[in-house]
Every structure is written in C-alpha cells, then in structure tokens.
Homo-oligomer: A and B are copies of this chain.
Amino acid sequence: MTKDEYFMYLAIKEAEKALVLDEVPIGAVIVKDDIVISRAHNLRETLKDATAHAEIIAIKDACTKLLGWRLIGCSLYVTLEPCSMCAGAIVNSRIERVVFGAFDYKAGACGSVLNVAFNNSLNHRAQITSGILEEECRTLLQEFFKKKR
C-alpha cells in the first residue's frame, strides 16, 4: 500500500461513517508532514447545511488546528472529486495537493466538469492526483444510490 493509498483508506473510513448516518458516503482527511490534521465526512442532511461537505468541514477543522486560514504544505485526500464549492475552498486555503478517488462527472471541479482547483486564472493552484482507490470509493457511492432507488 502506497502512502497515498493509506491516507485514501482513512478517507474511505470517514465515508463509511457518513453511510451509517444515511448521508452520501464521502470522506476526507487533511495531512501535513505525514500527520493527519483533520478528518471529516459529509453531514449535509444531518446538519441541514448545504456547505457541510466533508472537505469544507475538514478544511475548517484544519484551520483551527493550524491556527490560521492558510493550509500551507497540506494535502487533502477525498473519496470523490471536489465540487466547485470545495475546490474553491481548496484554492482559498492554499492547500498544496488534492488527492481524490472517484471522478464526479456531474459536478467535479478538479477537471471533470469545471476546473477550479488547478486554474491558471486564479491566484493558487493545487496539484491534483486522481483515481487513488477509485473503485472502492466509487463502489461505496454506487451501493448507496442503488439502495435509494
């Protein structure tokens, strides 16, 4: 197991916590110097909050931990490609690297639908690595939506 796979595995563990709450199973962890700074899962329905995506919660928590809004040198691992809101938060917080599992062909803003996270028109670009443990991340989501039908 590579380092990226290990941290993505932790993000999957977070996604499974969302699943238990009947939330869309998406999880995220933020890592700095190989240390996990924050971990979070989607809580949109539980908190009745449109902004309560795993990434936003993880970013807010990491800012608290690091005592500042700049997450310099941090990597964010997330099971699904971030949407525009989350990709924008990644840019705003200066996260250095984003690693995601499954692609989001409906709303992904790291290349699939829009490109917010690595855009030369903005003042910060995050390095992007995609498809880490993709099948595990995707299967978790597919099983969730299959049961919802």
- Stoichiometry (number of copies): 2
Contact of A51 with B107 at beta-carbon distance under 8 Å, contacts A113-B122, A114-B116, A121-B113 already known: no
Interface residues in A104-122 by Cβ distance below 8 A to B read 106-107, 109, 113-114, 116, 119, 121-122
Tell me how many residues of A have a C-beta within 8 Å of chain B: 40
Output the nearest chain B residue to A95 by Cβ-Cβ distance: B50
Give chain A's interface secondary structure class: loop
A69 touching B48 by the CB < 8 A rule?
A: yes
Q: Which residues of A contact B (CB under 8 A)?
A: 44-45, 47-53, 56, 59-60, 63-64, 67-71, 83-89, 91-94, 106-107, 109, 113-114, 116, 119, 121-123
